[in-house]
Structure 1
Amino acid sequence: MKVLFATDGSPEDQQARHFVAAASWPAGTQIELFGVMAPVALAVSGELLDRNARDFEHELDYLATSLPRRDATVTWRDAVGQPADAIAARARAMEADLIVVGSRGRGPLATSILGSVSAGVIDRAPCPVLVARRARTERIVLADDGSVGAATAAAFFDEWPIFGETSLQVVTVVDVGRPLSASDDAPMLYSAGERLYIESLDEERERARQTVAARAKGLKPRARTIKTCIREGAAADEILTAAHDFAADLIVMGSRGHTGLARFFAGSVARQVLLGATCSVLIARGSAQLVREREHPTPFGVVALA
């Protein structure tokens, strides 16, 4: 397994470092610490730039040597550029299976792993991205809409040993948007629309029930305990509320999703979850090594993971 840990060495990055240090990585895992110094104004002196660069390199070297080795090898590399672009490019170059980032940075002369940068990394990344806000992953919420993106997220949870034995809650969200309000001119039209709305909502609720039940059944051998949860409302808000109520350490979700239910794997919703969560967030994307081509049954038919 190849892991790219994008860090700036700041105190705000501490939880991400704790996660990388504590995770049960598979034997032979290669972890690369990657630091990006953002471009600075020309007014900054060359001497100051050189000194900051040396300090940054020393800090990366110290962090690399201080991480527990066990069955993993740890190296480091630095670069100058726009953080999101540089991190995504490095992940492609090393064929990373996972990118780990913190959620905050420390200014213009170091990597700004802020929410916007984390979101930018996710938009560009060729592999899953974990925004680490907590060291542990004992309680996990898996957001599921029955889509290929959700199946990919579930496959990562199922296959990655870094999660160990966890308490899992599978959550899906039903969009309950109301039909147009009745008017004096078209009461019969509104009545017909209301009936269609109720029928459609009942279908979506049943689809949601099947979705979480099928996913929970498939993942039952992997989790210590497993629960299902169906919520109704705005997708991002409901996922965040479910994570809060479950005291989740980690939210796992895909980056794109199904057109039914709440459509909650559209990039904007994933971004809202990323920026609104107080726990870690894993956005699953395709990985050639860990998502093998296999058939995965869902209530919507057979989805081939790739």
Structure 2
Amino acid sequence: MNRPVVVGVDGSPSSLVAAEHAARAAVLRSRPLHLVHGYLHPLGFGVPINPYDVGVPAPTEKAQKMLEDAAAEIVGRHRGLAVEVRQVAGGPGATLVEESRRAELVVVGSRGLGGFAGLLLGSVGTQVAAHAQCPVLVVRPAEEPIPVAGPVLVGVDGSEAAELAVGYAADEAARRSAELILVHVPPSDGSQRMPDEVAETQAAAHAESAELLATAAAAVGGSHPGLAVEGRVVRAAKAEQALIEASAEAALVVVGSRGRGGFAGMLLGSVSQALVQHARCPVLVAHPYGHAR
């Protein structure tokens, strides 16, 4: 199955930047690109004039032209890339979640049409990042040039979600011929201890951090021999803040859908949520692939 790279496009500047990111991702993966517009949205295209009309509105020529213009610009920059455009009768978030069942990657912008200035990631991006059935690339900050240099950054905490994220991060670093940086942020210890207890605790934490990074690096070396890998231990009060700061030097940061201490009802852990909202580079949320239908 030749899964495509799928990107939601609504004509907003943020979505058009996301489409260019998606095109580059499709080229790196040798996959087709699908530009998808879910047009049942109160502030988008295809809204019925009569609010009591229970019929589903048809796709519009305006939205089709928007999609075709975006596709033409992408093909002009990426010769040979297969691009398909499609309007879907559904809300943009639900449409992209459904598309993710058959996608290699879903790409969303930070904020689309109708986005509120106070929300750093719009409701559509939040919905897709949490519920997609494949990896999701969140393009942020919005409307900034695509980073072409810099390492791929991933957090390591020993959880199953982090292991998946490390694998995806290694794949991305290999595609980009970039360095992979493994970051571990040990839990902070705010308790009052005697000096000898502090030294003992710090030694144990250092050993655990070294073991986590060594295990992750060995896994990467086995799957991607020759890939440049660096392990870093970063001490901070909060893991999310350390990773947000580290993201300033990265071309991409990869996060698991849920790390240690995640609750089953929370599809994105607190660290992942913080990064998709505040990271200083694009964020790849490492969802496992679901079953195509």
Q: Is the 8 A contact 1:137 1:163 kept in 2?
A: no
In the TM superposition, residue 156 of structure 1 has moved relative to its aligned partner by 2.0
Of the three residues 117, 124, 146, the one matched with 1:135 is 146
Q: How many residues align?
A: 263
Secondary structure of residue in 2 paired with 1:67: helix
Q: Distance in 1 between matches of 2:196 and 2:274?
A: 32
Q: Does 1:152 align with 2:154?
A: no
Q: Distance in 2 between matches of 1:78 and 1:227?
A: 43
Q: Does 1:62 align with 2:69?
A: yes
Q: Does 1:206 align with 2:215?
A: no
Query: CA 1:10–1:217 in 2, change beyond 3 Å: closer, same or farther?
Result: same
- Structure 1 or 2: more strand by fraction: 1
Secondary structure of residue in 2 paired with 1:278: coil
Query: CA 1:201–1:34 in 2, change beyond 3 Å: closer, same or farther?
Result: farther
Of the three residues 246, 251, 255, the one matched with 1:249 is 251
Q: Does 1:235 align with 2:239?
A: yes
In the TM superposition, residue 26 of structure 1 has moved relative to its aligned partner by 3.4
Q: Distance in 1 between matches of 2:48 and 2:154?
A: 46
Kindly provide the amino acid, as one letter, of the partner of residue 28 in structure 2: W
Query: CA 1:266–1:104 in 2, change beyond 3 Å: closer, same or farther?
Result: closer
Kindly provide the amino acid, as one letter, of the partner of residue 214 in structure 1: T
In the TM superposition, residue 266 of structure 1 has moved relative to its aligned partner by 5.7
Query: CA 1:210–1:71 in 2, change beyond 3 Å: closer, same or farther?
Result: farther
In the TM superposition, residue 147 of structure 1 has moved relative to its aligned partner by 1.9
Q: Distance in 2 between matches of 1:160 and 1:171?
A: 16
Partner of 1:186: none
Query: CA 1:146–1:223 in 2, change beyond 3 Å: closer, same or farther?
Result: farther
Q: Distance in 2 between matches of 1:105 and 1:146?
A: 35
What's the TM-score, normalizing by structure 1?
Answer: 0.73
Q: Is the 8 A contact 1:85 1:124 kept in 2?
A: no
In the TM superposition, residue 201 of structure 1 has moved relative to its aligned partner by 4.6
Q: Does 1:76 align with 2:85?
A: yes
Kindly provide the amino acid, as one letter, of the partner of residue 184 in structure 2: T
User: Larger deviation: 207-216 or 270-279?
Assistant: 207-216
Kindly provide the amino acid, as one letter, of the partner of residue 87 in structure 1: L
Partner of 1:89: 98
Q: Is the 8 A contact 1:131 1:282 kept in 2?
A: yes
Q: Distance in 2 between matches of 1:82 and 1:223?
A: 44
Q: Distance in 1 between matches of 2:86 and 2:203?
A: 53
Q: Is the 8 A contact 2:184 2:213 kept in 1?
A: yes
Q: Does 1:107 align with 2:119?
A: no
Q: Does 1:269 align with 2:271?
A: yes
Q: Does 1:2 align with 2:8?
A: no
Counting aligned pairs with the same residue, the percent is: 25
Q: Structure 1, unaligned stretches of length 5 or more? A: 182-189, 290-306
Residues 202-237 of structure 1: CA distance to partner in whole angstroms, max 9, x if unpaired?
A: 323321122223323443556764322111220110
